[in-house]
Structure 1
């Protein structure tokens, strides 16, 4: 009996010890930080946020009914590893991220203009999925929201690129005066990619030229038989082209528009090409029995849609960043562009580092430097301002961001440190903060 009591006491102690590591959605946080940006940076956001907390004290939240990681919403809740202003180490801090609709809709427009976003309510509104897992909790009722303007905006493009067709419909571009309200800190470079279904990759193992992808994205190629096969002995088998595109306002879409279509970079001399989905989607987005252009509001949707096209026996090409790596269960991979590659099912940074593969642009982290529409702004010395500063510092820490696939270091923002492991992530070229400029080698 005594032995049973000892075992019971030991198991109870372990249970309480385990519970001490998680904050849980019934505990009111000492501070909530609201962030916004694009879905291409979901993993980067999560990596930065969790680096602020003591390992083992972190809960992760999703809005996905299947309990998978959030495609358009994530939250990280933990205990601060170090003091931040008046908040001592061990304080409970909740950091939420909204990405549905792209960078501009979440990380730029609302931040610059002090507009609110419908963040899902976390406290008192979450169901346990897996203690200590990732995610740990699922939002119970997605109808419960807390309208807040983002405190921090993550962008996988320079802010100035969001003009013209890169803006969501009906949204005006950010003015110089509005940009004056924002402090923009350049970050790492985001490596972009073109994903193809495996059946298309088998027919084109050497990838596509930049001109071919431009023709596909602009609607000039609508049947795969318009392209030659890998051995150049004939055309690909006939069949409708399926394009899995992104919405305007997405950083990945803006990157593709600029890189392949010179839009808006060539606007001054009429050298731009319009993407095919400028007037909306086309074709058959269910069975893909005809030429189809399907626009997705989140990068998180693209992998499953590519798998769905493959399951129908069709061939597709899609816009997707290298943060998203296929698993063994997926039926798509990344393709090479003009013979340059950063991997098919893993991220291989070598040709991006050398500049041989130049489809990447510099990200930024943005905060308000004065009050806009009554929203709070980055004030040093306040608890909120100190946590914001800590978040930015982690975003600038190579040891943090290089753990996420699809990121490399810009040589201007991250000069050589003498740390060989981190210096290996430094690109030899930069666009000096201008996405419309060519990549310039500096080493």
Structure 2
């Protein structure tokens, strides 16, 4: 396998690949090859970069579902891939790569095991209109609301924020069976990079926490309200506080106290609107089956890892609070936090129980490849006084880090026979073979390479308080003799792993593999 092809080609591919339309493939063209991926939304930015950087210059058109946050549920990329960039490809081909993000990580696990088709975006239904953006002049926006805009497809590959065995209990997506150790064996699963997650709060809540914690001497006196650049000025929540908020035991912000004073009444905190329910805790959570949700429940509630663990709240109590908003994807979490910051209703959740729409304090869950440019009005808080940075994850100080996986169906486990035309009910899914397998392997290999992690996966993870995002996995990179035990942000490696000998298990406390010679212990 060629190493770091993506890194070497990144600049040309991402600039020239978007620079012209003469050779780019449109809905009037027929692909030679189609790849269907479903699963994690936390990685949408990196998947976009990984695939598009493989495209031949000038051949790419991208397709995002329309709406207030384009691409939050479906994306597609149509371009030419050639053996020059994809080692082992049989010939240059027009490849359509379709990514379903709706529903989150479990859609890249449970439907593969249950061998069920999923709705995928169809760009050939006269539903896509060229709508350039500032960063993508060859972007189409596609309707997904009319008959034929979505079509049923088997996924060739799934991607999840956490290992497949996590999708049981509260993490089981609606309409599918929970994963058990036996059914997990139907999948070939490979780990890719480790990803940092955090707790986002809308700006109004961020400012309130910052005001109160500065007033209590927990933050330096010279921190300005809203400041996000200095790590020591970022307000902090404890693991126990987050657990109490997301499990619903804290129902209203009047109950959230700083030195005995309700946060809503702390001197200097901007009061919430005097509307019904405005002080209720709002939790912009993810739907069951989200890997982003699963990692938060595992890290903060130990669910489903420990019998009897607290459950994440699933429904609202409109009389006493809290209010729970179920979000299909990470883009929907952004809309949710935005709604409560601005008092609008793009999600449809900021109304109904309460009229009119209201501004409120809200928290959620999100990966650290989101909103580094602060385009949305939310920020990440510290957890136990530790910020979600590459440095803190590398040194073992920040704990909310998980290892992601790609998976696909093993040969010989399909329940239905293969046949031509995957839309037929009598046709079963097939493991990726040939050029599809070659492209998937290229993406998986590149996604694990430390230099690619820095140059592609982390390009949207430069936060005011420091670099964050992804780190290459400990195995094999930290166990290599070249590993120095010192963080290199240009080729970051996570020296810890959730693989204690039986595969990735994000329920366990990660440790440094014994084969790591230069252990980065402080």
TM-score normalised by the chain length of structure 1: 0.84
Task: Say if 2:450 and 2:493, in contact at 8 Å, map to a contact too.
Answer: no
The 5 A counterparts of 1:15-26 are 18-26=20-28
1:241 counterpart (275, 281, 304): 281
Task: Say if 2:237 and 2:385, in contact at 8 Å, map to a contact too.
Answer: yes
- Partner of 1:302: helix, strand, or coil? helix
Question: How far off is 1:327 after superposition?
Answer: 3.8
Structure with bigger helix share is: 1
Instruction: Answer yes or no: is 1:392 the counterpart of 2:444.
Output: yes
Task: Say if 1:208 and 1:337, in contact at 8 Å, map to a contact too.
Answer: yes
Instruction: Answer yes or no: is 1:133 the counterpart of 2:123.
Output: no
The 5 A counterparts of 1:37-48 are 37-48=39-50
Question: How far off is 1:233 after superposition?
Answer: 7.0
Instruction: Answer yes or no: is 1:300 the counterpart of 2:331.
Output: yes
In the superposition, relative to structure 1, how do residues 184 and 65 fare at CA in structure 2: closer, same or farther (>3 Å)? same
2:371 counterpart (325, 333, 350): 325
- Partner of 2:236: helix, strand, or coil? coil
1:409 counterpart (472, 476, 480): 472
- Partner of 1:412: helix, strand, or coil? helix
Specify every segment of 5 or more residues in structure 1 that has no aligned partner in the other structure, as ranges.
1-16, 343-347
Q: Distance in 1 between matches of 2:246 and 2:163?
A: 22
The 5 A counterparts of 1:35-434 are 35-66=37-68, 68-82=69-83, 85=88, 87-89=90-92, 91-104=93-106, 106-123=107-124, 125=126, 126-130=128-132, 133=136, 136-140=139-143, 142=145, 143-144=147-148, 145-169=150-174, 171-205=176-210, 206-229=235-258, 232=259, 234-237=261-264, 239-267=279-307, 270=308, 272-277=309-314, 280-283=315-318, 291-312=322-343, 313-325=359-371, 327-342=373-388, 348-371=389-412, 372=414, 373=416, 374-379=428-433, 382-402=434-454, 403-404=456-457, 405=461, 406-415=469-478, 416=480, 417=482, 421=488, 424-432=491-499, 433-434=504-505
Which segment drifts farther, 151-160 or 204-213?
204-213
Task: Say if 1:302 and 1:318, in contact at 8 Å, map to a contact too.
Answer: yes
Indicate the RMSD between aligned Cα atoms, in angstroms: 2.5
CA-to-partner distance for each residue in 1:366-418, whole Å, 9 max, x for gaps?
A: 12221513212133xx2333223333333333333333332122212433556
CA-to-partner distance for each residue in 1:231-267, whole Å, 9 max, x for gaps?
A: x473311532111111110001111111111111111
Q: Distance in 1 between matches of 2:243 and 2:331?
A: 23
In the superposition, relative to structure 1, how do residues 114 and 354 fare at CA in structure 2: closer, same or farther (>3 Å)? same
Specify every segment of 5 or more residues in structure 2 that has no aligned partner in the other structure, as ranges.
1-18, 211-234, 266-278, 344-358, 417-427, 462-468, 514-518
Task: Say if 2:165 and 2:180, in contact at 8 Å, map to a contact too.
Answer: no
Task: Say if 1:152 and 1:366, in contact at 8 Å, map to a contact too.
Answer: yes
Task: Say if 2:253 and 2:280, in contact at 8 Å, map to a contact too.
Answer: yes
Question: How far off is 1:339 after superposition?
Answer: 0.6
Which segment drifts farther, 425-434 or 159-168?
425-434
Instruction: Answer yes or no: is 1:438 the counterpart of 2:509.
Output: yes
Task: Say if 2:117 and 2:152, in contact at 8 Å, map to a contact too.
Answer: yes
Question: How far off is 1:62 after superposition?
Answer: 0.6
TM-score normalised by the chain length of structure 2: 0.72
Q: Distance in 2 between matches of 1:173 and 1:19?
A: 45
Question: How far off is 1:37 after superposition?
Answer: 0.6
In the superposition, relative to structure 1, how do residues 320 and 81 fare at CA in structure 2: closer, same or farther (>3 Å)? same
Question: How far off is 1:179 after superposition?
Answer: 2.4
CA-to-partner distance for each residue in 1:342-383, whole Å, 9 max, x for gaps?
A: 2xxxxx32111211111011000112221513212133xx23
In the superposition, relative to structure 1, how do residues 339 and 364 fare at CA in structure 2: closer, same or farther (>3 Å)? same
Task: Say if 1:263 and 1:274, in contact at 8 Å, map to a contact too.
Answer: yes
In the superposition, relative to structure 1, how do residues 370 and 113 fare at CA in structure 2: closer, same or farther (>3 Å)? farther
Number of residues paired by the alignment?
A: 406
- Partner of 1:168: helix, strand, or coil? coil
